[in-house]
Structures are given as C-alpha cells and as structure tokens.
Amino acid sequence: MFDELSKATGAKYPLMAYLFFLKDMDRFMPIQPTGFDRVFGEIGLELRTLRNCTWENYSQFNRFLNALRKPIADQAGLDHVRLIDAHSLLWLFSTLLRKEAKGELAKGEKADARYLGALEKWIADIRYSVGKTVFNSNGQVVPTTVKNKELRMSDAELGKLIRDLLTIQEDRCAITGLPFQFRGAQTDDNMLPSLDRIDSNGHYAKENLQLVCRFINFWKQASDDAEFRRLVGVVRGDDMEGG
C-alpha cells in the first residue's frame, strides 16, 4: 500500500510518512529526508532517505528509531523511551547540524561538541559501532558482530569500560602513546580513538580491549598484538642495533 500511495503522490516522503504517523504513532514516525540524512551521515549510518520513498526504506528508518530507544533510556537513566522521543532526539541533532552548516552556532562551535560533547559523542559512536544494528529480512533489529565475535558486557558496562580505559591510558593510544583527539574537536581524524581487540580472534570482553588511534587499528588489522608492538618499535628505532 505504501509504495502504491507513494507513486500516486509523487513519492513525497514527508507527506507519506506523516500519513502513516497519523495512522499509528506508536509504530511510524514523520520524516524530513534532508535533515535526518545529515544525522545519519554524521553518525556513520549508511541509511539514506532522500529520493528513496519506499516501504523498505521507511521500515528501516522506523526500525532504526526503535533500536535507539533502549540505548537512550540506558544513557539517560529512564524507565521508558517512546518512539517519538527517539525521533525528537534525532530532529534536535539535525537542527544543530543545520545551524552549524550555516555558521549560526556561537564562535564556530561544532554541533556535535555542543550537543553531546566531543568525548561523550565519541563514546556513543564507539558503543554504537560495537553493537551496530542491522535490519534483517523479518523486520527484527539484531546486533551484528565483527567476525562473529560477541559483546560480552552490557551497553552500560561498555560505556564505563571505555571511560576507565581513557583514564588508565591517560587519553593516549595504548600502542604508540600518542594523545587522542575527540570527534567534534579533532584536527586529524587519524588521531581519533578506536576500540581494539588485543586478540583479534577473541571477543569484545573487558580483558581483551584497549584504545588505540584510528590509524593504528587500521594498520594492525588481525595482526598479533605483541608482534605488531614489536614492529612499531622497529619503525621508531627502539629495536635497532646501535640505535
């Protein structure tokens, strides 16, 4: 029915989404493609809605909003977060991003730094990345894993662990000792922190995680941690005879 109505109305996504919102506001939300796509791009989500007014796309949009409810509730300490609350959060973020693009934020502030804080936004990014949701064929939202690895802690525990690691590592890369920069205040994306499994064949468990610079995680890939550290030392000249 959605696709047929879409064709009849000229594929006007805001109109279609609003009609379904009026039909059942517990299941469907309005959509403003340009604004929400800006948010999706900012948080690294591949979902795009502009000029993509289809039932499958709209279903993915609503499933994503639904998947946000629990993390928002956990982060804010709330017992219940409605679908419209998750929608409102994204709408507010999209407004700040629009103001940032127009230069309307005071003294060149970044929208993400103003709204979430550079550090807190990065922690949210990491938690989302580790527990990134995918949309499967039957419409359920399930956690995806990297190389079939498991996240062996709750979302709240992961957030605490990241903060603890930052404190222990003094905001520096565990392998190189280089100081981190945080999203929204960074000058070099390669210096953003990245959550690394010490043993790439292991799970996302407390004893198997460290924070490294993004470029180090990219270079390390599935290498043995000790061997990679040795090679970094060689590059630095630490292991060179007569050095």
Q: Which helix (H) or strand (E) holds 197?
A: strand 193-197
pLDDT of amino acid 175: 95
Asked if 131 and 75 count as a contact pair (C-beta separation under 8 A), the reply is: no
Q: State the Cα–Cα distance between residues 54 and 61, nearest whole angstrom.
A: 11
In 11-142, which ranges are continuous DSSP H helix? Answer: 13-23, 33-43, 55-76, 83-101, 111-115, 118-130
Closest C-alpha to 68, from 152, 131, 116 = 131
Per-residue pLDDT tens over the stretch 137-180? 334 444 444 344 566 777 678 778 888 998 899 999 999 999 99
Per-domain residue ranges for the chain?
1-115, 121-243
Q: Which helix (H) or strand (E) holds 217?
A: helix 214-220
Give the pair of three-digit tokens for residue 118. 């550079």
Asked if 192 and 186 count as a contact pair (C-beta separation under 8 A), the reply is: yes
Average pLDDT, the chain: 78
Stronger pLDDT, 40 or 143, i.e. the higher one:
40
pLDDT of amino acid 179: 94
pLDDT of amino acid 67: 87
Stronger pLDDT, 26 or 3, i.e. the higher one:
26
Mean pLDDT on 25-50: 86
Asked if 196 and 209 count as a contact pair (C-beta separation under 8 A), the reply is: yes
Instruction: Say what the pTM is.
Output: 0.48
The answer as to CATH 3.30.40 being correct for domain 121-243 is yes
Query: Which residue type sits at 231?
Result: L
* 39-53, 60-74, 94-108: the lowest-pLDDT one: 94-108
Going by the DSSP 8-state scheme, the letter that residue 207 receives in this structure is: G
